[in-house]
Amino acid sequence: MTDRARTFYLTTPIYYVNDRPHLGHAYTTILADTMARYRRLAGDDVWFLTGTDEHGDKIAQAAAKAGITPQQLADRNSAAFRDAWRQLGIEYSDYIRTTEARHTTVVQAILQKLWDAGEIYLGKYGGHYCFGCERFYTEKEIVDGKCPDHQTPLTWIEEENYFFKMSKYQAWLIETVERQPDLIRPERYRNEILGFLREPLQDLSISRPKSRLTWGIPLPFDDTYVTYVWFDALINYVSALGGPGAPRFERYWPHAQHVIAKDIVKPHAIYWPCMLKAAGIDLYRHLNVHGYWTLGGRKISKSVGNLVEALALKDKYGNDAFRYFVLREMVFGLDADFSEEALVSRLNADLANDLGNLVARVTTLIANVGGGSVPATEGRFARGGEAAFGGDLKGDFEKSRGNVDAAMEEFAFHRALAAIWDFIGAVNRYVDTTQPWARPSNDMARGQRDHALYHLGQSLWCLGLVLEPFLPEAARKIRHALGHTGDPKLGDAEWGRLAPGTRVQKLSGLFPRIEAKDQSDLTYGATRTSRRPPAGQSGPAVLATIDDFSKVDLRVAEVLTAEPVPKSKKLLKLTVSLGSEQRTLVAGIAEHYAPADLVGKKVVVVANLEPAQLMGIESNGMVLAGSTEGKLAVLTLDRDLPPGTKIT
């Protein structure tokens, strides 16, 4: 564990209520939730804030269009965001709405303080305004006469307004950003802001005349004006804690970190620090900036009309799987193009194959071979360190933990997951090398097998903890399979914490493989072509009746052990469970499957086949498999069913 601060305050942007939650909002909120969970798991005192931004032109216009009041629109859509976060399992500590009295009170108090201190003055302003962004654009920022973000025409607006003396903080801000290299991160956004600060900083218009807009917080010193929505919104980070002087504020504000996407760096890296400075409040610790999710290269947004529905993806693939994909796929700070095909292939490779199979293999091995509980390991196999037999899983885990910590320190979620998957890879290789399914021929071999199972058990135990922030449901299932039902703590992710003798339950089907059969299975960005039978392969030659089929007794079978048949290249000897009985089968699949790949798998067997002798072994049944062009695949289940289940 690093010696970082033990108190942690994390915020997401507060989302505009003219929109429904989509992948972009979900990403920011999921990553903040992951970070908050990670820090809680590490024992830190965490406050995690999200909420909705409910004032301003944008909301007033959307409400008018919908024929309802701005408050009705805000109530409806704020509830929609809240509901989306509930469905996505987001564990925030507080949810702020800018229409709440606790917020408006603090905004007005800060405005009054700045007014009294002479930080605000009445002036005239004319400028190019974007209603989408709720802000004026300078000549330099305008692209082809349009808003660079929305690509919509700007409106020239001239009016008398109140201004915050932001320009006087320019030198201070440059000095602050330069002095704290990790204030704005990753570095590309810090450089962007330093670049922007090379031009003279303008004062900030912080009011809108009520003649133009009434939907906002009235200025405390002139009620013919409402507060500019950004000046109002940024203060949520402080008002939600009760404002300066409140106990929660004093406890958490010194540890504040914001998470945003690159669209709103300027208000957060320029307006907000100057506002805080003028109000006599300390600056936040870090501004963490991520890139855009794009679809076909364009930012996912309501105005572009290319929304990717986060909840639909979650419903289709499961919460953990969706969460894993967004955290693993996007390099924090850079843009990522969304593709459902990429999602499916990551789920199959990383979750179904690497993690899901590992958990099934290890729990099945301990349940079947190890007698249902974690065996003890004898000292003689640890001679020369834990690496004595099979490899040094403990060392691999410690290395991975260190890398996860370092990555999380920098909000590099993709690197944290890659570090955990390095460890999962090492554990999978350990199963292959130690082959704990083989029947031990002597005491030494039995001792080695128990040693391997002990270390595999410790590995799952640690995974059940470190995976919690990223895959909360799967991690909980892993912990439960190992009898851990209490609160998870990162400090318990240590070798030896899973006591020998602990009962282990089999856990298979943690992440079922997803077979996208054709384009119609993929909602977004499908490019895969549907599969046809290979050329030259014709349909069935003989038609079977339903009676013919019902003669064949097909059953779900769980592979308990697998070993090569001596002197045969093709054959594997399998012991399978059919629920009430165990069978020995011989299958001609050795050229396509390593024994380790089969243990723990649920396959389909013909259970009423005449026994056959193969290389001196009696085979009682047949494993179903298909093959074409040198490829062979054994039939497995895409959902868990108990061994012995009849297939009809």
Known catalytic residues are 22, 25, 130, 133, 147, 150, 299, 302
Cβ of 6: how many Cβ atoms within 10 Å? 12
293 binds ligand MSP (CB under 6 A): yes
Tell which one of 59, 62, 300, 504 touches ligand MSP (CB under 6 A).
300
Collapsed DSSP state (helix, strand, coil) of residue 32? helix
Q: Which has the closest alpha carbon to 513: 306, 354, 641, 335?
A: 354
Segment interacting with ligand MSP (CB under 6 A) among 12-20, 314-322, 576-584, 607-615: 12-20
Assigned token pair, 251: 């406890």
Whole-angstrom distance, CA of residue 557 vs CA of residue 600: 10
Whole-angstrom distance, CA of residue 331 vs CA of residue 350: 17
332 binds ligand MSP (CB under 6 A): no
CB 209 within 8 Å of CB 123: no
**Whole-number minimum distance, CB 300 to ligand MSP, in Å?**
4
CB of 55 or CB of 401, closer to ligand MSP: 55
3-state secondary structure 34-79: HHHHHHHHCCCEEEEEEEEECCCHHHHHHHHHHCCCHHHHHHHHHH
CB 9 within 8 Å of CB 256: yes
**Whole-number minimum distance, CB 493 to ligand MSP, in Å?**
30
414 binds ligand MSP (CB under 6 A): no
Instruction: Determine the distance from the C-alpha atom of residue 570 to the mean position of all C-alpha atoms in its chain, rounded to a whole number.
Output: 42
**Whole-number minimum distance, CB 131 to ligand MSP, in Å?**
13
Q: Which has the closest alpha carbon to 501: 453, 459, 436?
A: 453
Residues 204-243 as x/- pattern, contact with ligand MSP by CB under 6 A: -----------------------------xx-x-------
Q: Which residue is nearest to ligand MSP (CB)?
A: 24
Dihedral (CA of 317, 323, 327, 330) sign: positive
What φ, ψ does residue 7 adopt, rounded to 5°? Answer: -110, 145
**Whole-number minimum distance, CB 325 to ligand MSP, in Å?**
14
53 binds ligand MSP (CB under 6 A): yes
CB of 19 or CB of 405, closer to ligand MSP: 19
285 binds ligand MSP (CB under 6 A): no
16 binds ligand MSP (CB under 6 A): yes
3-state secondary structure 356-420: HHHHHHHHHHHHHCCCCECCCCCHHHHCCCHHHCCCCHHHHHHHHHHHHHHHHHCCCHHHHHHHH
Residues 239-268 that bind ligand MSP (CB under 6 A): 260-261, 263-264
Segment interacting with ligand MSP (CB under 6 A) among 299-307, 570-578, 612-620, 625-633: 299-307
Largest CA distance in the chain: 98
14 binds ligand MSP (CB under 6 A): yes
CB of 27 or CB of 461, closer to ligand MSP: 27
Segment interacting with ligand MSP (CB under 6 A) among 21-29, 350-358, 448-456, 510-518: 21-29
19 binds ligand MSP (CB under 6 A): yes
CB of 259 or CB of 504, closer to ligand MSP: 259
CB of 4 or CB of 302, closer to ligand MSP: 302
Give Cβ neighbours of residue 166 (< 8 Å, ≥ 6 apart). Answer: 201, 202, 203, 204, 270, 271, 274
- Residues listed for the chain: 648
Tell which one of 8, 9, 15, 163 touches ligand MSP (CB under 6 A).
15
CB of 232 or CB of 597, closer to ligand MSP: 232
Whole-angstrom distance, CA of residue 29 vs CA of residue 32: 5
**Whole-number minimum distance, CB 65 to ligand MSP, in Å?**
17
Q: Which has the closest alpha carbon to 473: 360, 356, 339, 344?
A: 356
189 binds ligand MSP (CB under 6 A): no
Site of interaction with ligand MSP (CB under 6 A):
13-16, 19, 24-25, 27-28, 53, 233-234, 236, 260-261, 263-264, 292-293, 299-301
